[in-house]
Amino acid sequence: MLEVKGPDRPATISPDLVVEGGRTGGPASTVDVPGDKSVTHRALLAALLPGAPHRLTIRNANLGGAVRALFPALRALGLDTLVEGDVLTVRRAAPVPQPVRPHPAITRWPDGIPYLETAGSSAAARLLIGVLAGVGRGAVVDGDEVLRHRPMDWIVTPLNELGADIRYLDRSGRLPVSVGGRVHRSRRVELAVGSAQARSAVLLGAVAAGVPAELRHPVRSRDHTERMLAAFGARLTEGPGKVAYDGGPCSVPPLIDVPGDPSLAAYPVAAHLLRGGGGELRIPDVCLNPTRTGFFDVLRRAGAAIDYQDLRTTAGGEPVGTVVTTAGLDGVRAVTVDDPGTLHALIDEVPLLAVVAARLPGTSRIGCAGELRFKETDRLVTTARMAAAFGACVRVEPDGLTVNGPRSVNGPPPGGTAGLSAGTVPGFEDHRIAMAAATLATALPGRTTITGGACHTTSFPGFTAVLRAVGATIHEVTL
Ligand SMILES: O=C(O)C1=C[C@@H](OP(=O)(O)O)[C@@H](O)[C@H](O)C1
Ligand SMILES: C=C(OP(=O)(O)O)C(=O)O
């Protein structure tokens, strides 16, 4: 029996998701997905950079739980957030203190600095710590019970090398931390992990402080921070394995447009491919930054009909276009991810890629994925357990997953289920696991219940509506 490592998952707190699979209606030929979560986080935090406008408007914002997790912390720092449709406005306002989340070992919190807490969002906490260290604003940064188990030394060690004074208030390497001092030493720092959150936190710290720095990194993972800062006028030089900042100024514009989230577009694309039967699906205005398109690129290389059209570049420096997919997996081969760059370009899509791979003939291998053990759950283990509940054969390796699909070299029969069946499947209160399960379930005849599956709102508000638009029958069950 596989164990889910890390913190005990909370008892299911989200409603279940129920999918009546195999009953596809007439799918829409075009669907939209929300704005990108990573770009929205960065745009929001830009409001804390020196010289940021008094009023910052973010259009097409992702308004899922992970982004909203930043609102109370920003409010405590004197920035109010106003949501109108998918437009997010950040304005200066009187600070509103954030209530302290009880902690089993801390009864007295540091005096005189605000307590900031970003619920379960690690991107929010890590990037916030970087910006605070850069602007020299003291604060306590904390998270929920799950986030308190995720590694923070990835950012604390390099930021302290640059002169910040970030201290662990309980366990070493974990939240909560106090942020003090200020980035002031110009250094070359080596990042231990490929995490884009780590690189972004340190880069934001250096740029917010106006202190030159060179960051050596093992993988060029998502580079939205670099693109955004460059669009703001920061002078960054990039080379293999490094990014350098010269200490010069940058200026935050009053309006930031967020492109569609490719990690979210992956679900309707996968549902459409799994459903089969031809027919074209178009998803416009998706961020096609190559550090994010790994899911599509890997499947394209394996023979899936996925195309990019209407390509252009936004003012923020992000490539954007329409993702066009033709339904069906006929002739698509097993997939292989064996380099860190590709893995990081699909890091949040690994659970989804694994369930798609369970429908591909032969053995698929997703490697270089050790960092997935430090997400909301150990996603190598939770992916395997979720997939096993459908009857899929997914093996956890030290650094990834091996997925055994059906044997036939000709692929599964059209509309066949490759030995997978609907049933009750754990969602582990992890949005990526729950959404991958729901997507596979759309293609399997019968009813699948994903326990706690409605946690998809963390990153994908409107997930059920988008799946319905591509023909799925899906609803939430509130007990
Ligand atoms: O930089 C970001 O916004 C993110 C980077 C990734 O995490 P890591 O960079 O830690 O791999 C990703 O999993 C997360 O959803 C968002
Ligand atoms: C891992 C994720 O986010 P974070 O690391 O910011 O919690 C995610 O959205 O899948």
In a domain, 301, yes or no: yes
How many angstroms separate the alpha carbon of residue 112 from the centre of ligand 2? Answer: 31
Q: Which residue minimizes the CA distance to atom 3 of ligand 1?
A: 38
26 lies in the same domain as 42: no
Q: Which of 245, 267, 298 is the last residue of a domain?
A: 245
Would the CB of 371 count as within 6 Å of ligand 1? yes
Q: Which of 16, 285, 348, 430 is catalytic?
A: 348
- Residues 207, 52: Cα–Cα separation, whole Å: 13
348 lines ligand 1 (CB under 6 A): yes
The per-residue pLDDT for range 153-184, each reduced to its tens digit, is 999 999 999 999 999 999 999 999 999 999 99
Instruction: Report the pLDDT averaged over residues 46-62.
Output: 97
- Report which of residues 23 and 253 the model is more confident about: 253
For residue 149, the enclosing domain spans 37-245
Residues 6+ apart with CB under 8 A from 134: 49, 182, 183, 204, 205, 206, 207, 208, 209, 211
Confidence of residue 408 (pLDDT cuts 50, 70, 90): low
- Alpha carbon of residue 234 to chain centroid: 25
Ligand with an atom nearest the CA of residue 204 = 1
For ligand 2, what atom is nearest to the CA of residue 124? 6
3-state DSSP assignment of residue 6: coil
Average pLDDT estimate for 128-142: 98
Residues 309 and 222 in one domain: no
Considering the domain architecture, whether residues 234 and 366 belong to the same structural domain is answered as no
Per-residue confidence (pLDDT) for residue 479, from 0 to 100? 63
List Cα–Cα distances, 325 to 282, 341, 346, 364, in angstroms: 7, 24, 18, 21
Q: How many structural domains compose the chain?
A: 2
Of 44-53, 104-113, 403-412, the range with the lowest mean pLDDT is: 403-412
Residue 446 Cα to ligand 2 midpoint, Å, equals 31
Give the percent of the chain with pLDDT over 90: 91
- The answer to whether residues 118 and 205 belong to one domain is yes
Distance from the CA of 415 to the center of ligand 1, in angstroms?
Answer: 34
Q: pLDDT digits over 213-254, tens only? A: 999 999 999 999 999 999 999 999 999 999 999 999 999 999
Examine residue 298 and state whether it is found in any structural domain, yes or no.
yes
Residue nearest to atom 10 of ligand 1 (CA): 195
One domain, residues 197 and 269? no
**Is 251 a domain residue?**
no
Same domain, 349 and 383: yes
Do 301 and 312 share a domain, yes or no?
A: yes
Q: Do 65 and 148 lie in a common domain?
A: yes
Q: Whose CA is nearest to atom 4 of ligand 2?
A: 122
Q: Is the CB of 14 under 6 A from ligand 2?
A: no
Q: What is the mean pLDDT of the chain?
A: 94
> pLDDT tens, 65-99?
999 999 999 999 999 999 999 999 999 999 999 99
Whole-number Å distance, alpha carbon 373 to ligand 1 midpoint, is: 13
Question: Which ligand 2 atom is the nearest neighbour of the CA of 375?
Answer: 1
Residue 250 lies in a domain: no
| 3 in a structural domain | no
pLDDT tens digits for range 310-366: 999 999 999 999 999 998 999 999 999 999 999 999 999 999 999 999 999 999 999
Mark which of 212, 245, 278 sits at the end of a domain: 245
pLDDT of 6 above 50: no
pLDDT of residue 23: 63
CATH code of the domain containing 164: 3.65.10.10
Closest atom, ligand 2, to C-alpha of 432: 10
| 423 in the same domain as 296 | yes
Residue at token pair 């394995």? 241
Residue 171 is assigned to a structural domain of this protein: yes
Q: Do 72 and 175 share a domain, yes or no?
A: yes
pLDDT tens readout for residues 361-393: 999 999 999 999 999 999 999 999 999 999 999
pLDDT for the residue numbered 406: 85
399 is an active site residue: no
Q: Are residues 84 and 169 in the same domain?
A: yes
Question: Which of 375, 377, 382 to mutate to test ligand 2, by most ligand atoms within 8 A of the CB atom?
Answer: 375
Tell me, yes or no, whether 29 and 91 share the same domain.
Answer: no
Q: What pLDDT was estimated at residue 13?
A: 84
Q: Is the CB of 122 under 6 A from ligand 2?
A: yes
Question: Which has the closest alpha carbon to 425: 11, 1, 7, 18?
Answer: 18
Find the mean pLDDT for residues 86-113: 97
**Is there a domain that residue 252 lies in?**
no
Confidence label for 409 from pLDDT (cuts 50, 70 and 90): very low
Report d(CA 58, CA 254) in Å as an integer: 8
Of residues 91 and 27, more confidence is placed in: 91
pLDDT-derived band at 282, boundaries 50, 70, 90:
very high
Of 222, 245, 268, the one marking the end of a domain is 245
Closest ligand to the CA of 121 = 2
Does residue 7 lie in a domain region? no
pLDDT of amino acid 14: 92
Q: How far is the CA of 297 from the centre of ligand 2 (A)?
A: 21
Based on C-alpha coordinates, what's the Rg of the chain? 22
